[in-house]
Amino acid sequence: MSIFMIAISILTGASFIIIRTLNMKLSFEIGVYGSNLINHIVGALASSIIVFLAMQGMAIEKASLLNAPFYAYLGGLMGALFIVLSNLTFSKTSVITSTILILSGQFLSSVIVDMLILQKDIGLKNIIGAIIIVLSVILYNIDTEESKEDNLAFKAQLCHRYRTRFLHNGESFPLTARSCWNCQSSVMGKCFK
C-alpha cells in the first residue's frame, strides 16, 4: 500500500470522528431521528453532485442496476441505522469509548466476513489481534475516580443545556452536577424544563 493511500485512510478515519461528533451535536438540537434525516438528505445532495461531476456524461445502465443482488441495496438502510445508533452511543459515552467500541465491532465483523463469506484463511496473529482489541476496550472502560468525575461533568453539561430543574421523589431542586448525574443515570430522578 502506498504512503498516499495510508494517508487517505488515516484522514478518512479522522473524518469519521468529526462527522460523528457533528451528528451528535445536531442530534442534541433536533433529536436523533431528525439528525439522521438531515444527514441523509445532505448526503444524498452531496453524492448527487459528486456522481454528476465524476460521470461526465456517462449514464448508469439500467441493466447493471437490475443485475445487482437485492442485498447490495441494503447499504443505505444499514447506513441510516448506523447513524442513529452511533448518535445514541456518542451521546451516552465519550467519543473515544464509542470509537473504540465501533472499531472493535468493525474489526471483529471483518474477521468473520473474511472467514465465512470471502473464504480467506485467518491465521493465529489475526485471532490474537482480535483478542488484544477486545481486551483494550475492557481495560479502557474500567472506571477510575477521575473518569467518573469527567463523565459526571459531561452529563451535567448536557442536562444543564436542555433542562433547568431536577425532580426527585416529588420534590423540585435547582439543577446541580450531582442531581443531573442522577437524572441521566437513574430512574429515581427526572430532569424537566
Per residue of the chain (193 residues), give pLDDT as tens.
688 888 888 888 788 778 877 887 887 778 778 888 888 888 888 888 887 777 665 666 655 667 778 787 788 788 778 877 877 777 677 777 777 777 778 877 887 888 887 878 777 887 787 788 778 777 776 665 555 555 555 555 555 554 544 444 455 545 444 444 444 443 333 444 3
Helix, coil or strand: residue 116: helix
End position of a domain, from candidates 56, 75, 91:
91
Task: Name the residue range of residue 37's domain.
Answer: 1-91
Give the pLDDT confidence score for residue 164 in this predicted structure.
Answer: 46
C-alpha cell read off for 96: 473515544
Q: Is 44 exposed, middle or buried (0-12, 13-18, 19+ CB in 10 A)?
A: exposed
Q: Are residues 123 and 151 in the same domain?
A: no
Q: Please check whether residues 127 and 148 belong to one and the same domain.
A: no
Same domain (yes/no): 129, 174: no
- 26 and 107 in a single domain? The answer is no
- How many domains does the chain divide into? 3
Position 50, amino acid: I
pLDDT at res. 187: 32
Instruction: Say what the pLDDT of residue 165 is.
Output: 47
My answer on whether 169 and 87 are in the same domain is no
- 77 & 103 share domain: no
For residue 110, the one-letter residue type is S
Distances (CA, A) of 120 to 2, 94, 106, 182: 23, 35, 17, 49
What does the block give as the cell for 98?
464509542
Closest CA to 165 of 188, 191, 186: 191
pLDDT value for 33: 81
**Domain shared by 7 and 60, yes or no:** yes
Question: 151 and 126 in one domain?
Answer: no
Indicate whether 105 and 78 sit together in one domain: no
Give the three-class secondary structure for 162: helix
Residues 97, 132 within the same domain: yes
Closest CA to 19 of 79, 92, 72, 109: 79
Same structural domain for residues 37 and 78? yes
